[in-house]
């Protein structure tokens, strides 16, 4: 592999041709044909001849094609003409989009081929038997295609073959005997197929096999000794088959074997002691077999051993002290065997140990005092053993611990408050089924990353400390079968747990147990609810300003904005004060034919005169509900402080509006018509039943209804699709915010205010530039410099909406602290030592693992969208893809 490509020669070749002008180019017809057939190849007509085309290497003397290397270029089309390239030695078309049968005839014309890589395409059908004619072939890679059928017998003629890869197909049949006869074979990889039968007993006998990977097939019989006979084996992977027999003793011959993975088979017998001869062994994985006997002390000789996994076997006896010498050991997994004796103190000396899994054995004695001497320990899994004594206080020193499983032992004494010091603990703390007594230490409430807490089936007494409400990440709790008393603290994850999590105690009360408590409980519940409700204060906008990098520009912006707001206010006031009967409608139109009869322009105008009809106040407009005499309900948007130009550019505006009215996309709120009177423009929209996303998320008065996660996710996706579509038709939105996302009767997201971009386009002189910044908190940082709203700017604003959806927080709020808005607050979370889970709405993220997983994935998207650098933000099309993947 890795033969240097003769660039120099191809250069020379090009020169030769240029000088000798009209020479006969041997592969001209084939290459010209290929150029026509290959879709996606960038071969230029400008080049003097094919020898200088990208990916082509020619023989310098006769200018025949020697190598064609076009990996990962998104190519498709008919490549059968490569069979005409008589002198080709290397052909690499891997990682493209070719489909259909493998196109090579493999007859004499390809006789020079030494390297053939067609992997990672969509080639289907059988492996052509004619490939057996490629007598000089050394490397054949057909992996990751859709090939079916058996390995054809004709391939036995490939006597030079050194590397043979057919993994990741749908091949069946058995591995043919002749593969054992290939004397040069170094690499054979056929994993993830449907191969059955036995591994040939001569495999590797005559060759220097270095890599054999046959995992995930249905192979039976024994592991042949022959594969170890040359002693050159470096990687052996036979996981997930049906192999029987024992691990052959000659495995010890392979001094350079680093990976030995034979888990999930039916292997029996003991682990051969010769294993200790494999000084280079790094991964040894033989879990889920029937291996018996003792854990050989010889493992101590494998000084590079990093992972030892013998879980779910039938091992017995003690863990040898000598294994403590394995300085590189990171994972020691022997769960589900019959091992006994004390928890091996010596192993805790392995400085790199990160996972110690002794669960479901017969370990006895007490927990070692040096339990945390290996500072890297992340998983301490000792559940289902016979360990007694107390939990030592030093457990608090296991600073990196992610999971602590001590359930199902004979532990006594109290739960040490020191466990609260293990701030990283997140996957689980399981102390269930022991003999622990005393009270629950309030310090456990500091475990704010913890997801699962199980203290059930002990003799714990006292109350559940209200400090446990500090477990912000908790999803699963179990306090059952203890002697606990008092109210279950008012904490969402507790109340939403099944009652069984609290049953079997002495005197627990409150939800989710349907046992009512004292008034104390109610008071506390109320209190908790108040804390979570907050309101926008006008001053917030002021603090939000500090967000921007160029404060001065923003201050100016802010002042202009204030002035405009004042202007529009005075306009509205004056309109109300003067009791005009009904102003004269200049013009109006309804684009949708079926609605023409139902809309009355005079009524539209009248309805917008009534303050009680006001729906909301956007950046550019005020919306009103308007009930037509026909009964039709409209939402009418009165453009604010309208530049007279809007009215003066009527024809243009009408054209734009009609165009928008005709845009058909399910997630866009399209105008259905307009009315113009005096110098006021009214835009007509269908009345949207469920208000805006902002109202839904930050709800007015009643906190009762909170949109659940699936609803929020579907709103996010709808919104992304709507915006993606706008970008697709080259429309930039000028004011993306949750107030401009409307929700129909089925809570589908409808992106509104799309017409603003067309009506108030500063480039067309229809609005002052300061008007088009968007809403506070949503304005991309670059706007301070560019004063222009761009597609990446839209992506930023969209990202802010996503963050709002994930956190149920306002984009600008003083709770974030001075100079921080939602985006900064989220991006700075790691700096404050907060996890993603802590910034997301806990009412959703603690609901289930599935919701949390999806929320984390969406958070990632939101982070990308709100990157400070516009160029780093994904395109909306990509955003849609990412959200759909969630």
> Residues interacting with ligand NAG, by CB under 6 A?
1, 33, 78, 80-81, 94-95, 105, 107-109, 117, 119-120, 139, 141, 148-149, 163, 165, 172, 187, 252, 273-274, 276-277, 279-280, 298, 304, 327-328, 340-341, 351-352, 364-365, 383-384, 407-408, 430, 432-433, 452, 454, 476, 478
CA distance 33 to 41: 12
Q: How far is the CB of 209 from ligand NAG (least distance, A)?
A: 13
Looking at the Cβ atoms of 221 and 583, the one nearer to ligand NAG is: 221
Q: What is the DSSP string of 151-198?
A: PPGGGGG-TT--EEE--SSEE-SB--THHHH-TT--EEE--SS--EEE
CA distances (Å), origin 42, targets 33, 34, 36, 53: 14, 12, 11, 8
Looking at the Cβ atoms of 285 and 454, the one nearer to ligand NAG is: 454
Of the candidates 49, 44, 106, the one whose C-alpha atom is nearest the C-alpha of residue 80 is: 106
CA distance 693 to 679: 31
Looking at the Cβ atoms of 163 and 656, the one nearer to ligand NAG is: 163
Looking at the Cβ atoms of 280 and 564, the one nearer to ligand NAG is: 280
For residue 735, indicate whether it is catalytic: yes
- Residues contacting residue 254 through CB under 8 Å, at least 6 positions apart: 228, 231, 232, 233, 234, 278
The DSSP code for 366 is: B
Q: How far is the CB of 94 from ligand NAG (least distance, A)?
A: 4
Looking at the Cβ atoms of 51 and 185, the one nearer to ligand NAG is: 185
Using DSSP's 3-state secondary structure scheme, residue 878 falls into helix
The DSSP code for 54 is: T
CA distances (Å), origin 174, targets 132, 154, 185, 246, 532: 18, 15, 18, 21, 65
Half-sphere exposure of 738 (CA within 13 A, CB side): 24
Of the candidates 52, 55, 54, the one whose C-alpha atom is nearest the C-alpha of residue 25 is: 52
Half-sphere exposure of 606 (CA within 13 A, CB side): 10
Among residues 27, 511, 735, 867, the one annotated as catalytic is 735
Looking at the Cβ atoms of 505 and 808, the one nearer to ligand NAG is: 505
Neighbours of 234 (CB within 10 A): 17
Q: What is the DSSP string of 708-756?
A: -HHHHHHHHHHHHHHHHHHHHTT---S--SGGGEEE-TT--EEE--TTH
Q: How far is the CB of 75 from ligand NAG (least distance, A)?
A: 14
- The angle, 0 to 180 degrees and rounded to 10, between the axes of the packed helices 791-807 and 876-885 is 30
Residue sitting closest to ligand NAG (CB): 407
Using DSSP's 3-state secondary structure scheme, residue 506 falls into coil
283-318 exposure pattern, b = at least 16 Cβ within 10 A, e = fewer: bbbbbbbebbeebbebbbbbeebbbbbbbbbebeee
Contact between residue 325 and residue 348 where contact means Cβ atoms under 8 Å apart: no
Question: How would you classify the pairing of strands 741-743 and 673-677?
Answer: unpaired
Q: How far is the CB of 176 from ligand NAG (least distance, A)?
A: 14
Looking at the Cβ atoms of 172 and 270, the one nearer to ligand NAG is: 172
Q: How far is the CB of 58 from ligand NAG (least distance, A)?
A: 21
Q: How far is the CB of 282 from ligand NAG (least distance, A)?
A: 7
Q: How far is the CB of 476 from ligand NAG (least distance, A)?
A: 6
Type and span of the H or E element at 859? helix 849-865
Q: How far is the CB of 653 from ligand NAG (least distance, A)?
A: 53
Contact between residue 780 and residue 797 where contact means Cβ atoms under 8 Å apart: yes
Contact between residue 209 and residue 229 where contact means Cβ atoms under 8 Å apart: no
Looking at the Cβ atoms of 149 and 542, the one nearer to ligand NAG is: 149
Looking at the Cβ atoms of 163 and 285, the one nearer to ligand NAG is: 163
Q: How far is the CB of 131 from ligand NAG (least distance, A)?
A: 11
Looking at the Cβ atoms of 501 and 854, the one nearer to ligand NAG is: 501
Q: How far is the CB of 279 from ligand NAG (least distance, A)?
A: 4
Q: How far is the CB of 425 from ligand NAG (least distance, A)?
A: 14
Of the candidates 783, 765, 795, 766, the one whose C-alpha atom is nearest the C-alpha of residue 861 is: 795
Of the candidates 106, 26, 18, the one whose C-alpha atom is nearest the C-alpha of residue 66 is: 26
Looking at the Cβ atoms of 206 and 304, the one nearer to ligand NAG is: 304
Contact between residue 225 and residue 253 where contact means Cβ atoms under 8 Å apart: no
CA distances (Å), origin 72, targets 95, 589, 742: 4, 54, 43
Looking at the Cβ atoms of 337 and 797, the one nearer to ligand NAG is: 337
Contact between residue 218 and residue 196 where contact means Cβ atoms under 8 Å apart: yes
Contact between residue 254 and residue 212 where contact means Cβ atoms under 8 Å apart: no
Of the candidates 659, 684, 666, 688, the one whose C-alpha atom is nearest the C-alpha of residue 674 is: 684
Q: How far is the CB of 390 from ligand NAG (least distance, A)?
A: 14
Q: How far is the CB of 335 from ligand NAG (least distance, A)?
A: 11
Of the candidates 681, 338, 406, 679, the one whose C-alpha atom is nearest the C-alpha of residue 671 is: 681
Looking at the Cβ atoms of 76 and 824, the one nearer to ligand NAG is: 76
Contact between residue 755 and residue 633 where contact means Cβ atoms under 8 Å apart: no
Using DSSP's 3-state secondary structure scheme, residue 804 falls into helix
CA distance 838 to 763: 43
- Residues contacting residue 148 through CB under 8 Å, at least 6 positions apart: 124, 125, 126, 169, 170, 171, 172
Q: Which residues are catalytic?
A: 735
């Amino acid at each position: 592999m890795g033969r240097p490509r003769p660039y120099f020669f191809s250069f020379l070749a090009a020169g030769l041709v240029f000088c000798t002008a009209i020479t006969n180019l041997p592969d001209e017809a084939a290459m010209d044909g290929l150029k026509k057939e290959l879709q996606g190849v960038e071969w230029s007509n400008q080049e003097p001849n094919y020898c200088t085309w990208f990916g082509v290497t020619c023989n310098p003397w006769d200018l025949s094609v020697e190598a064609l290397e076009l990996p990962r270029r998104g190519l498709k089309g008919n490549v059968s003409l490569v069979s005409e390239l008589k002198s080709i030695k290397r052909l690499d078309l891997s990682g493209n989009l070719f489909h259909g049968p493998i196109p090579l005839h493999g007859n004499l014309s390809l006789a020079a081929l030494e390297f053939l890589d067609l992997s990672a395409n969509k080639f289907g059908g059988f492996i052509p038997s004619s490939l057996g004619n490629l007598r000089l072939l050394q490397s054949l890679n057909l992996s990751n295609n859709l090939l079916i059928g058996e390995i054809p017998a004709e391939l036995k003629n490939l006597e030079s073959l050194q590397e043979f890869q057919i993994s990741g197909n749908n091949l069946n049949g058995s591995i043919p005997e002749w593969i054992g006869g290939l004397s040069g074979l170094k690499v054979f990889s056929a994993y993830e197929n449907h191969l059955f039968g036995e591994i040939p007993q001569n495999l590797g006998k005559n060759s220097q096999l270095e890599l054999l990977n046959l995992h995930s097939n249905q192979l039976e019989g024994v592991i042949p000794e022959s594969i170890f006979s040359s002693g050159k084996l470096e990687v052996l992977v036979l996981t997930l088959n049906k192999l029987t027999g024992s691990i052959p003793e000659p495995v010890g011959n392979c001094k350079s074997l680093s990976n030995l993975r034979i888990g999930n088979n039916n292997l029996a017998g003991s682990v051969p002691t010769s294993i200790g001869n494999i000084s280079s062994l790094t991964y040894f994985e033989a879990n889920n077999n029937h291996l018996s006997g003792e854990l050989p002390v010889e493992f101590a000789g494998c000084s590079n051993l990093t992972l030892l996994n013998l879980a779910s076997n039938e091992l017995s006896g003690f863990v040898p002290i000598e294994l403590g010498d394995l300085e590189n050991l990171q994972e020691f997994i022997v769960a589900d065997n019959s091992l006994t004796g004390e928890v091996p103190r010596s192993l805790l000396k392995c400085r790199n140990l990160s996972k110690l899994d002794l669960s479901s054995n017969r370990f006895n004695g007490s927990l070692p005092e040096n339990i945390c001497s290996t500072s890297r320990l992340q998983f301490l899994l000792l559940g289902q053993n016979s360990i007694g004594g107390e939990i030592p206080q030093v457990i608090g020193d296991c600073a990196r611990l992610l999971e602590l499983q001590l359930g199902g032992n004979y532990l006594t004494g109290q739960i040490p408050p020191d466990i609260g010091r293990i701030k990283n603990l997140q996957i689980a703390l399981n102390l269930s089924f022991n003999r622990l007594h005393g009270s629950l230490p309030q310090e456990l409430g500091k475990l704010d990353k913890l997801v699962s807490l199980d203290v059930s089936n002990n003799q714990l007494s006292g109350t559940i400390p209200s400090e446990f409400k500090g477990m912000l990440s908790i999803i699963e709790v179990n306090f059952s079968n203890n002697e606990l008393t008092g109210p279950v603290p008012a904490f969402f994850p507790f109340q939403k747990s099944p009652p069984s999590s609290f049953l079997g105690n002495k005197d627990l009360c409150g939800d989710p147990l349907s046992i009512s408590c004292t008034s104390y409980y109610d008071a506390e519940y109320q209190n908790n609810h108040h804390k979570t409700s907050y309101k926008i204060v006008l001053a917030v906008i002021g603090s939000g300003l500090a967000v921007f990098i160029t404060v001065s520009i923003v201050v100016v912006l802010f002042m202009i904005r204030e002035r405009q707001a004042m202007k529009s206010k005075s306009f509205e006031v004056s309109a109300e004060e003067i009791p005009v009967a009904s102003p004269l409608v200049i013009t109006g139109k309804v684009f949708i034919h079926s609605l023409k009869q139902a809309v009355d322009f005079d009524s539209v105008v009248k309805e917008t005169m009534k303050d009680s009809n006001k729906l909301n106040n956007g950046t550019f407009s005020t919306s009103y509900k308007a009930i037509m005499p026909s009964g039709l309900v409209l939402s009418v948007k009165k453009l604010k402080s309208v530049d007279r130009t809007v009215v003066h550019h009527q024809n243009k505006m009408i054209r734009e509006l009609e165009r928008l009215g005709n845009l058909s996309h399910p997630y866009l709120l399209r105008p259905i018509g307009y009315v113009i009177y005096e110098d006021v423009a009214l835009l007509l929209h269908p009345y949207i039943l469920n208000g805006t996303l902002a109202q839904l998320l930050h709800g007015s008065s009643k906190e009762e209804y909170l949109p659940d996660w699936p609803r929020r996710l579907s709103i996010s996706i709808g919104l992304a699709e709507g915006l993606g579509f706008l970008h697709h038709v080259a429309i930039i939105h000028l004011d993306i915010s949750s107030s401009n996302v409307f929700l129909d009767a089925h809570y589908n997201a409808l992106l509104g205010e799309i017409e603003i971009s067309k009506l108030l386009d500063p480039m067309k002189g229809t609005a002052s530039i300061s008007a088009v910044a968007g809403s506070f908190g949503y304005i991309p940082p670059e706007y301070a410099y560019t004063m222009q709203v761009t597609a990446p700017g839209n992506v930023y604003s969209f990202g802010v909406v996503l963050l709002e959806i994930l956190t149920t927080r306002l984009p600008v709020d003083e709770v974030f602290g001075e100079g921080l808005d939602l985006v900064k607050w989220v991006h700075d979370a790691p700096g404050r030592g907060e996890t993603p889970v802590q910034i997301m709405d806990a009412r959703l993220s603690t609901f289930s693992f599935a919701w949390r997983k999806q929320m984390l994935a969406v958070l990632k998207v939101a982070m990308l969208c709100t990157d400070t650098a516009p160029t780093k933000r994904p395109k909306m099309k990509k955003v849609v893809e990412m959200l759909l993947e969630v």
